[in-house]
Amino acid sequence: MTGVWRTLLKRIADRPTSISALSSVLAIVSGLLVGLVIMLVVNPSDALPGFVTILFGAFNAGMTSLGNTLYFGVPIVLTGLSVAFAFRTGLFNIGATGQLTMGAFTAVYIGVNWGFLGPLHWVVALLGGMLAGAVWGSIPGFLKAFRNVHEVVASIMLNYVAMYMNTMLIKQLIYNQQYARALSPQPSALIPTWFLDDIFVGSSINAGIFIAIALTVVLHIILNYTVFGYELKSVGFNKDAAKYAGMNEKRNVVLSMTISGALSGAAGAIMFLVAGRHLEPVNQLLQEGFTGIAIALLGLSAPIGVFLAGIFYGNLEQGGYYLQLFDFMPEIIDIIIAVIIYFSALSLFLQKFVAGYIRRRTGEEVELQEGSEIK
């Protein structure tokens, strides 16, 4: 057994990416452990069954919870892709929530008003949401490229502008006075469920999952098999070197933020083009944008990794829902996510920890990809 373990460690030692992946797993384990400790403090007798409920959130109620896991995972996959895509160009898109809000409003506006589109209605609403997110994302891109404004600061300001603008536009344009919320999109604007509701009976799943899969594949191809993707990553690794090599680094920064914004806009559209969910004029930032940061980090900014991490989040979210059977509050999930982000911030430390362990067990030196993620 120890022999197998050592061979495995040796193989890991040969590939720096797998060390990063291991540090991601360690971050998740740390977050879950903190969650477990809190549950033990609050209610020791139910802590263990509660913890199992979180871990296997998707399997609490058969196909229903499995479907809902995918349903809740989709927006997070998209915001995760959004943040990850900007990461690859060396940009920190903390503005996903603002882009998501603009996308959601635009999609719902089209959903409420443009019924003449018929069967294309939901497609146009989704594209409109992506366009709005793209425009909102491009602003910090332009400011960064041409005015040297830090994209984090610009995005934070734009998050709040988007939040208030959303409140204002809902009240002016698509207000349902009676319920103090936005009007419902017409049925033709809702993301179709196709055959999915027959498979995942009783869940809210819709075609959003196919959109998420398609976008994951597209981004994977862009980043790994195209010149454009290569340029984006080069700008992310070393802006000056990329410029010296003849790449237009300003254009790439703007494009990266625009695409990133479009992905968050898609998340917003998919979140609110469903029956029973309404935009509200409440001046609150939508948390999905921030969760996307965690998912991007855990997925190591690679589209497929982000997709898996996003679905894992859906699993936790479902776990939180069923956790209420045990008298625990679902906010424990948010605590776990926050701790996971914190340990992701310590990823370099975690990587050194893993490398040190491997060195002790196998005597092999390990090379770390220092600063491989974001700077």
Partner 1 sequence: MSDTLSVLYFLFPLVIASMVPLALVALGALYSERSGVINIALEGIMVMGGFVGIMMIRYLENATVLPPQVIALLGLLMGAFAGLLFSVFHAYASIHMKSNQIISATALNLFAPALAIFVARTIFLSRRIVISGNYRIREIPVLSDIPVLGELLFTRAYLSTYIGVVIFIVLTIVLYKTRVGLRIRSCGENPHAADSLGVNIYKIRYIGVLTSGALAGMGGVIFVLSFATRFDGTVVGFGFLSLAVLIFGQWHPLKILYAAFFFAAMRVIASTYSGIPVLQAINVPSEIYRMLPYVATLVVLAFASKSSRAPRAAGEPYDVGKR
Residues contributing to the site for partner 1 (CB under 8 A): 38, 42, 92, 94, 143, 147-149, 152-154, 156-161, 164-165, 167-168, 171-172, 283, 285, 287, 290, 293, 297, 329, 331-332, 334-335, 337-339, 341-342, 344-349, 373-374
What's the CA dihedral at 286, 287, 292, 293 to 10 degrees? Answer: 120
Q: Report yes or no: 125 and 111 within 8 Å, Cβ to Cβ.
A: yes
Say how far apart CA 35 and CA 51 lie, in whole Å: 8
Q: How far is the CB of 87 from partner 1 (least distance, A)?
A: 10
Minimum CB–partner distance for residue 369 and partner 1 (Å): 15
Residue among 67 and 140 whose Cβ is closer to partner 1: 140
β-bridge partners, 176: 181
HSE, side-chain direction, 13 A CA sphere, residue 17: 5
Q: Is 55 or 335 the residue whose CB approaches partner 1 more closely?
A: 335
- Could you tell me if 103 and 227 are in contact, meaning their C-beta atoms sit under 8 angstroms apart? no
- Write down the least CB distance from residue 193 to partner 1, Å: 31
- Spell 82-102 as b/e; 16+ CB within 10 A means b: bbbbbbbbbbbbbbbbbbbbb
Pick the closer one to partner 1 by CB: 126 or 296: 296
Q: Give the span between the Cα atoms of 332 and 316, in whole angstroms.
A: 10
List phi, psi (to 5°) of 181.
Answer: -155, 180
Residue appearing with tokens 């594949």: 217
Specify the length of the chain in residues: 375
Nearer to partner 1, 124 or 346 (CB): 346
Least CB distance to partner 1 at residue 191 (A): 27
Other Cβ atoms closer than 10 A to 307:
25
Q: How far is the CB of 316 from partner 1 (least distance, A)?
A: 13
- Nearest to partner 1 of 28, 143 (CB atom): 143
Task: Please give the Cα distance from 127 to 121 (Å, whole number).
Answer: 10
Q: Which is nearer to partner 1, 164 or 225 (CB)?
A: 164
Q: Nearest distance from residue 148's CB to partner 1, in Å?
A: 5
Residue closer to partner 1, measured from CB, 46 or 197:
46
